[in-house]
Chain A
């Protein structure tokens, strides 16, 4: 086949289609061509652009065997109410076949407030588990062998404290930190840009992050010290290309900060991990995953000069898109999640959380979370999608989309570089504005019926109120307050005061790695709020510069 002949055929085909559209008009507003051919991949080279799975540039996957060797980790994000309740849910999930833990903390915990703080009123235990001290952490992992299970903790601003608590719990159970596997999200830049659970300003936050990189490289070598997140950026309304571009820009900022702090890139880069969204457009998502791996690999090798291949690999956890769940006809969400799961699997994720059907309205019940987990298991065992590595490679559309998303992402990354990097771009509100513009555009499309959401602006029914939603009892707050009072009475308050004073001094000295000192404080049963208040005192609080 020669290109000229194919080109001519494509031209003729297009004319035919345009003529036929007069009779049957095409649906509007589809961004992509209707057809992709080898012409769209002109100039591509298999070796340099794709390679083999497990080899640079990792377009086809970071492991050679991918799911043939081992399925992705089925890691369901969970947590609510008290540590006792959440512990029950974790053990239920492990019994049901999930292969990793994922902890959701309540907002006071995420923002470094104790349950008895005035600002925590009404929020305790609502969006995740309330952890006020090491005592709660011990209950959270009761009867769970931290030497065998890997745990992801969605905690950012106070990640150092929760990590310290986790290590302390393991220690108490005779498990050394070097055996521990897991992840802390620890990605403060996306908090400023899209998620909102920040505490301190950028500079001290970056210090805490690089302290954690350094501490773990020596003491907790199997731990993923950061989950650089695009999920939330996408949820806030960005496009697929923006999702990976802004996240990778954040990743670049973290690498630069760590190198500036004196770390060798290969000492920490192998333990960086990422977090993508699995959105509705199945094939676009697959292309996005593949593009992200290639972009990151090139940046790590060429821009940062990393030598260890592990440093070039973009390992990713994925969550299906929460913002695409509808309150209308919630059963439909099961279908959405199944398609999003297929996308994540064909995209090559290392671990996956699937949302439950009721999550547009509440946290999931045991029954609905089981279906969400089964969705992953059905895709894994029954669909064949996990049987072949990177099955969509070679598809004219998917390869063209991979190239296109890569190009778009690189343009955004360049723009952010020109502004001065992700930190400055966030300070100036550039990233936030781009996200908001995309979010507004999306909403307008829905309201103009240019974008159809089934059950919401088409195929609506008369909705019956949904029954049986999970409710977090308002008494959780009172319970935690009582626990705190008892804790404060029981513990050695002299030791607590001493540890907090030591922490305050250390915070003021930029050369000191805060992790060991936080570990000490945590073991005296100083509370999360007490520890964070010391840091607030020295570091100050971030002043949001909202842009609208």
Chain B
């Protein structure tokens, strides 16, 4: 199968295979992405993050349905943590989006964090590009915001929604600070629970303190996602945020930053790989490690020497 061509022709199987190719680093992954890249840049990417139990998957499901009502096509990337012990994962977000499985305008892919250092955000970005190239109007990226990788993922979105719930036992302070600062819109889910007003107030106070130098004050939207309440209003605020973002230049600025950091990340990765490859031949790395351990050489000199020999 010529994956890139068939994908551009509308094959869902090709879309699926393309994502697998980049996730598993197949030999043809680069070639596929090269072909697809020109067709990317059209989708509106929305990141959805928040603590476990906030109801993100249900919210994603309802938001996707809202977009379908508007006649838009939707791609969803749902990310769940990989077990650091076994390397396996239960990818359980799909269960809350069962209605969408047979909708031909929706494509859902579950991904594990796979415990890699930084590799996740790259692979997620590629999955997003693939769905983008396949013509999806909206791409929802849903992830648990408890690790640095996950924060990195949503930072690459055009719109970032942070989902919180009242009374989950934690004050805002306990939630990772990084997420709260990047939120473009806050959604208080399960808004019928006790403590919703208190949470709202705490969020407002935090937003007052962190007033960033933009004219966009992140709105706080109340939703009850399992009942589908507040979803239309949430979608409206996304439209408003996107409009503001485009007018103020923030949209372009973010995308430029995203492209830059992706490019640098890819370069880092390739260079790092090359260095590792060079050093692993003939057990060179082990020799270097031994000499550093024995204090025959210091690591700074070692690095300097290796860099010189590679860059020559």
Chain A residue at minimum C-beta to C-beta distance from B96:
A545
Chain A residues, CB < 8 A from B92: 546-548
15 contacts between A and B (CB under 8 A): A428-B53, A543-B58, A543-B96, A543-B98, A543-B226, A544-B95, A545-B58, A545-B95, A545-B96, A545-B226, A546-B92, A546-B95, A547-B92, A548-B90, A548-B92
In the bound complex, how far is the Cα of B97 from the Cα of A544, in angstroms? 10
**Complex Cα–Cα for A384 and B95 (A):** 52
Which secondary structure characterizes the binding site on chain A?
Answer: loop
CB of A192, distance to nearest CB on chain B (Å): 13
Chain A residue with the shortest CB-CB distance to B95: A546
Shortest distance in angstroms between B85's beta carbon and chain A's nearest beta carbon? 15
Per-residue CB proximity of B90-119 to A under 8 Å, as 1/0? 101001101000000000000000000000
Given contacts A545-B58, A545-B95, A545-B226, could you give 11 more A-B pairs where the C-beta distance is less than 8 Å? A428-B53, A543-B58, A543-B96, A543-B98, A543-B226, A544-B95, A545-B96, A546-B92, A547-B92, A548-B90, A548-B92
Please provide the 7 A-B residue pairs with the shortest distance between their CB atoms, ordered closest to farther: A546-B95, A548-B90, A548-B92, A543-B226, A545-B96, A546-B92, A544-B95
Which residues in B have their C-beta under 8 angstroms from that of A545?
Answer: 58, 95-96, 226
Which residues of A from 118 to 149 have beta carbons under 8 Å from B? none
A543 proximity list for chain B (CB < 8 A): 58, 96, 98, 226
Q: Which of A427-465 contact B (CB under 8 A)?
A: 428
Chain A residues within 8 Å of B90, by CB? 548
A544 to B226, CA, bound (A): 10
Report the Cα distance A547→B96, complex, angstroms: 10
Contact with A along B142-166 (1 / 0, CB 8 A): 0000000000000000000000000
- Please give, as numbers and ranges, the residues of chain A lying within 8 Å of B53 by CB-CB distance: 428
Residues of B within 8 A of A547 (CB): 92
- Nearest Cβ distance between residue B287 and chain A, in whole angstroms? 44
Digit string of B201-237 for contact with A (CB within 8 Å is 1, else 0)?
A: 0000000000000000000000000100000000000
Which residues of B in the span 35-72 have a Cβ within 8 Å of any Cβ on A?
53, 58
Q: Given the complex of chains A and B, what is the CA–CA distance between A428 and B98 in angstroms?
A: 19
In this complex, the member of A543, A544, A546 whose beta carbon has the largest number of chain B beta carbons within 10 angstroms is A543
> Which residues in B have their C-beta under 8 angstroms from that of A546?
92, 95
Bound complex: CA A546 to CA B97 (Å)? 11
Chain B min CB distance to A366 (Å): 40
CB B267 to nearest CB in A, in angstroms, measures: 39
Expressed in whole angstroms, the Cα–Cα distance for A543 and B224 within the complex equals 14
Shortest Cβ distance from residue B64 to the other chain A in the assembled complex, whole angstroms: 14
Docked complex Cα distance between A544 and B61 (Å) = 13
Across the interface, name the chain A residue whose C-beta is closest to B226: A543
Closest to A544 in B: B95
Instruction: State A169–B70 Cα separation when bound (angstroms).
Output: 50
A428 to B190, CA, bound (A): 11
Residue of chain B at shortest CB distance from A545: B96
Chain B residues within 8 Å of A544, by CB:
95
Chain B residues contacting A428 (CB-CB under 8 Å) are 53
Alpha-carbon distance A35/B58, docked complex (angstroms): 52
**When chains A and B are docked, how far (Å) is the Cα of A548 from the Cα of B52?**
13
A516-548 near B? 1/0 per residue, CB < 8 Å: 000000000000000000000000000111111
A457 vs B226: C-alpha distance when bound (angstroms): 44
Q: How far is it, in angstroms, between the C-alpha of A545 and the C-alpha of B58 when the chains are bound?
A: 9
Chain A nearest CB from B62 CB (Å) reads 10
- Determine the distance from Cα of A546 to Cα of B90 in the docked complex, in whole angstroms: 12
> What distance in Å separates the Cβ of A539 from its nearest Cβ neighbour in chain B?
12
Q: How far is the CA of A543 from the CA of B226 in the complex (A)?
A: 8
Interface residues of B in 271-307 (CB under 8 A from A): none
Minimal beta-carbon separation of B63 from chain A (angstroms): 15
B290 CB, nearest partner CB in chain A, Å: 41
Residue in A closest to B94 when the chains form the complex, CB atoms: A546
Question: Nearest chain-B residue to A543 (Cβ)?
Answer: B226
A428 to B95, CA, bound (A): 15
Cα distance, A547 to B52, chains bound together (Å): 12
